[in-house]
Structure 1
Amino acid sequence: MESAAKHAGDIAVAVSQAYGVETMFTLSGGHVFPLYDGAVHENMRILDVRHEQSAVFAAEATARLTRKPGLAVLTAGPGITNGVSGVATAHYNGSPVVVMGGRAPQSRWGSGALQEMDHPPLFESITKLAFTGSGADTIGQDVEMAYRTALAPHRGPVFIDFYMDHLFAPSPERTTETLAPSPLEPDTDSLADIAKLIAAAERPVLVLGSDVWMDRAEEAARDFAEEYRLPVIPNGQGRGILPSGHDLLVTRARGLAFGQADLVIVVGTPLDFRLGYGWFGGKDGAPLAKVVHIADAASQLATHVGLAGSAAGDLSLTFWGLAAACATAGVDPKAYAPWVSTLAETASAAIAGDAELLASDADPIHPMRVYGELGRILADDAVVIGDGGDFVSYAGKYVEPRNPGNWLDPGPYGCLGTGLGYSIAARLARPSSQVVLLLGDGAAGFSLMDVDTLVRHRLPVVMICGNNGMWGLEKHPMQLLYGYDVAADLQPQCRYDQVVTALGGGGELVTSPSEIGPALRRAFDSGVPYLVNIATDPAVAYPRNTTGI
């Protein structure tokens, strides 16, 4: 190959850059060397991790934080199978991620080459598209198709692998026109029907999910809620669309809101276990609520529960159209004032009732004390990441972002181990913001080695580990069911902080509630990856009910 010729790896990287990709997340492997060479030629950042799952999680978090596609590059065979959980997480979160994989050479295919495996069938059920590139001459078109597919509503991951010999081969340069998908207009009749439901309601609730953020509809959503004075409960990355302290934000009155609502309008999130599978109302004699589901694509509308109304389309256009339809239907914002006031009073009482535990001097440490101390330090633009069970559940209740797009958790797939990959992406995407990773001690075991990645790439992150020495999400329920538990214990006060210091970061163990605040301040001031390892009371379990509400 002549030195001036472009190889297929160059073209794949150049097309990726045209779609806004700035970083390639990867773990080194020979099957994908031409993609690395292309990144060097095209001046794309290469960020290498210690486990392929972290590469995909970092790409997924990049997509969720920047609303541009994320890119992970995985070598053949085990490199790709190690990334499957990350792809599944991107699938359930609707994250536009492109995963490029290496593949044994076509010239040796079928003869037992190293790590020879047909990868796309593994991904068919958890991607929008999974395929093998057809050749070096068409790699530009193939990669373009991958990005266009990932970005089209409803967004999601795409997997493409390339024969190794195709990647090394010369490939024609390609001029890429990155046309954004045309916005899907919602059906005006459907919006008119929803507006009539709102006009007839006495106790409506508006749920704002992650796709509101991903569809860049956060301003339209807030304007709509404020114009018609609808109480709001956010879900996932919908958190922060109404900032902490907003008079319509009634997260802390969630039980009452969902239990007594007569109309629930769910936008940009599935009616899954997190929302009681779409069953609302019925509390204290109230009838079941009517449910409206609005999504960015018709494929996302619920089919397992009866809907009073639905609409699909670009979510900004949908909110604008619904606002106009509400005006036509004569929706009176003042009609909901008593309902909003009741929810606000309930939320205020819940917040006041928590004050004692948030400042608790209990020893062993109550997990809520950790969040009480953290709340005093968090900046308005902090990115907060949750990776864990019981300990991180408190974050969903007590950490209320002031800006949208600043919250990350694994989403409905519930895959532990996302935390370090998400932290890597957050530090790159928000270089001037605080980045805080909340870890359960169980979750820490999945990815803590990637602190090495933070250290090598000089990415300071504050990690807080709620260390209760067990799999709390399993231990307490198993004891309740059987009177005993198995396979649920971890080492008490395990020194995860020393793992971090051994890898070049900083850390300390905290065993007294009075030490929490000073330790957190040291972590934020350190300028390095720093883990505050807090020994929490193993007897305290996060309260749950069986409905998901």
Structure 2
Amino acid sequence: MRTDQIQEAAGAGTAPFDGGAAVVDWLKTAGVAHVFSVSGGPINAIYRACTHRGLPLVHARHEAAACFMAEASSRVTGRPGAAVVTLGPGVTNAVTPALVAMMAGTPLIIVGAHAATTTLERGAGMSYEVLPAMQTVTKWAARVTDPARIPEYLDIAWREMWAGRPGPVFLEIPTDILNATVDPAVRRPRPAAVGAAAVSAADTAALHALLAQAKRPLLLLGDETFWDRSDRLVAAIERHGLPFATLRLARGIVDEHHAQWVGPGYAPCNGTLRRALAEADCILMVGHHFEFDLEFGDTVGADARIVQVCSDRALLHKNRRADLAIPASASQFVATLAEAPAMATDRAWASGLAAAWTEERDAQRGESDNQGLHPIAAVDAVTAAAPAHTIYVSSHGNVDFWADARLRLRAPGRYLRAGQSGALGAEVPYGAGASFADPDAPVVVFVGDGGVGFHVAELDTAERYGRAFIVVVLDDECWGAIALPQAGAFGETYEMALPRRDWGKVAEGLGGKGYLCTDPAAIDAAVRDAVASRKPAIIQVPVRSVISPYMDYIS
């Protein structure tokens, strides 16, 4: 039966104000735009409330995919996403997306079911004590057993989610609590916005003194600049003549066509950034810390003075001690930087870095052969055909790493990558989630023939709800990120081959469109047709299996 037939058969009665309604009212008040979920009887009260209280429910094919979609919506909009999962294995399927959100610093609310309180510890079907697992992959996890306190617990979750560095939270609600009648008076006002911590007078003075001595400054824009945006960032960059790189969620926070951009903040795929880290005498790192993509700060020049700004004090000095550690919000620091006396930046050095990155990028011109296009040729053909406001999703496989250095983002929320955790499987759900978050923007997912297999069925989810995104499968017939380093290290590989499958027919079977493209002209035509069709699509491109600069460097 179709959904409308089921609802008609059930009758159109007035839904009670119960625990499910309390959850949905709170989510709507908090600004959540969609609830992503997978069928589960214990969460029917939330489903009913979504229908009767006007909060769109998106029913995915797998709980992990539903949570990835919710996280993707957060990465696009800057507002928390929400997922609801059923008890037991429904919750454990959410563990990996929660881990990804935790490592990325993405605000995500996961509501999980549990058996009725009268059957806890009695071996009820699907019932398992999942809180210990969720506590390891979230900032906060708890169970509420009083229906009247559901909004209170969600308020706690909100505060924990935004405290310091954002991240995922989990609230478990037994099914009898969700179905219990609740006094509508428990409704609460919109959760309070998190205040922006200002830069102290002492830190401002210390900053001015440090900036006055710097000649070769480098600005690193990190994750927090996405959640706490400033309209003075470009002014600060241009006032001081700062060369800058954008990390992870900050991709596009400043138009990456800016003359002072020195490429993505991923040292393994950006030789210019490695040079800049070694040569800079002052590094301004805003809303981030020295993690893997910055080689933990190990390659920073010995004489460089480091200014680190982060709202989460636990990240200050992490991996590399800062000369000036400022526990403040990104926007407040940018305002302080924009008002600081202009630095005596070595403009020739700064412009030389930007030119070096352009040359490095332009030099990446791979040759195609009878085994397929070079991945660069495929990526460039896609980006040339895609509209300027396209949202791009990249993965953590070898072919996907080619895309990171080719993309230049014009706006925030246009780049989604689960690379912080190294998790495969997020790519296709990210594409679907982005299409719900911004249905007017084309969405392009770059993924290999390995990663696409995790959640390809979510093309059906997008099609059912009238959403569209394009999956570009860069097909090198192997698990390239592992196979190529294996071959280099051992002279052989171990069960790495993947037979070429017809992914276009898979897309067609799921209600979308499919294309097989072997040259740039065909890719151009397929991208344009897929965008115009407003259908989910797969464009399969046979490519050469050639190691990316990222994988070559870290291997």
Partner of 1:498: 505
Q: Greater CA deviation, 477-486 or 458-467? A: 477-486
Partner of 2:491: 483
* Residue 449 of structure 1, aligned match among 451, 457, 462: 457
Partner of 1:340: 350
**What are the equivalent positions in structure 2 for 1:218-229 lying under 5 Å apart?**
219-229=231-241
* Residue 375 of structure 2, aligned match among 363, 367, 391: 367
Tell me how far 1:323 sits from its aligned partner.
3.3
1:508/1:213 CA distance change after superposition, 3 Å: same
**What are the equivalent positions in structure 2 for 1:32-51 lying under 5 Å apart?**
32-51=43-62
Can you list the C-alpha shifts for 1:332-383, whole angstroms capped at 9, x where unaligned? 34x32121122133123224424x44xx554321001012212322322111
Tell me how far 1:159 sits from its aligned partner.
0.4
Is the contact between residue 219 and residue 242 of structure 2 (CA under 8 Å) also seen in structure 1? yes
**What are the equivalent positions in structure 2 for 1:190-229 lying under 5 Å apart?**
190-217=203-230, 219-229=231-241
Can you list the C-alpha shifts for 1:259-310, whole angstroms capped at 9, x where unaligned? 322222221223111011112345xxxx453332211221222432222221
Partner of 2:313: 298
d(CA) in 2 for partners of 1:418 and 1:140? 30
Matching of residue 323 in structure 1 with residue 343 in structure 2: no
Is the contact between residue 275 and residue 548 of structure 1 (CA under 8 Å) also seen in structure 2? no
1:191/1:394 CA distance change after superposition, 3 Å: farther
Is the contact between residue 211 and residue 343 of structure 2 (CA under 8 Å) also seen in structure 1? no
**Counterpart of 2:274 in structure 1: which amino acid?**
G
1:542/1:352 CA distance change after superposition, 3 Å: closer
Can you list the C-alpha shifts for 1:46-91, whole angstroms capped at 9, x where unaligned? 1000010111111111112112111100000011101100011111
* Residue 99 of structure 1, aligned match among 107, 110, 113: 110
Tell me how far 1:36 sits from its aligned partner.
0.7
**What are the equivalent positions in structure 2 for 1:86-485 lying under 5 Å apart?**
86-173=97-184, 174-178=186-190, 179-217=192-230, 219-251=231-263, 253-282=272-301, 287=302, 289-324=304-339, 326-327=340-341, 331-333=342-344, 335-354=345-364, 356-357=365-366, 362-363=369-370, 364-485=372-493
Is the contact between residue 497 and residue 508 of structure 1 (CA under 8 Å) also seen in structure 2? yes
Partner of 2:548: 542
How many residue pairs end up in the alignment?
533
Q: Greater CA deviation, 417-426 or 253-262? A: 253-262
**Counterpart of 1:391 in structure 2: which amino acid?**
V
Matched position secondary structure for 1:250:
strand
Matched position secondary structure for 1:233:
strand
Is the contact between residue 142 and residue 172 of structure 2 (CA under 8 Å) also seen in structure 1? yes
Is the contact between residue 497 and residue 532 of structure 1 (CA under 8 Å) also seen in structure 2? yes
Tell me how far 1:125 sits from its aligned partner.
2.2
Matched position secondary structure for 2:363:
helix
- When the two structures are superposed, what TM-score results if normalisation uses the length of structure 1? 0.92
Is the contact between residue 92 and residue 412 of structure 1 (CA under 8 Å) also seen in structure 2? yes
Q: Greater CA deviation, 373-382 or 450-459? A: 373-382
**Counterpart of 1:400 in structure 2: which amino acid?**
R
Partner of 2:94: 83
- % identity of equivalent residues: 26
Q: Show structure 2 runs of 5+ residues with no match.
A: 1-12, 264-269
- When the two structures are superposed, what TM-score results if normalisation uses the length of structure 2? 0.92
Can you list the C-alpha shifts for 1:447-470, whole angstroms capped at 9, x where unaligned? 111111111111111111100011
RMSD of the TM alignment (CA)? 2.0
Matched position secondary structure for 1:403:
coil
Partner of 2:79: 68
Matched position secondary structure for 1:158:
strand
d(CA) in 1 for partners of 2:479 and 2:410? 31
Tell me how far 1:149 sits from its aligned partner.
2.2
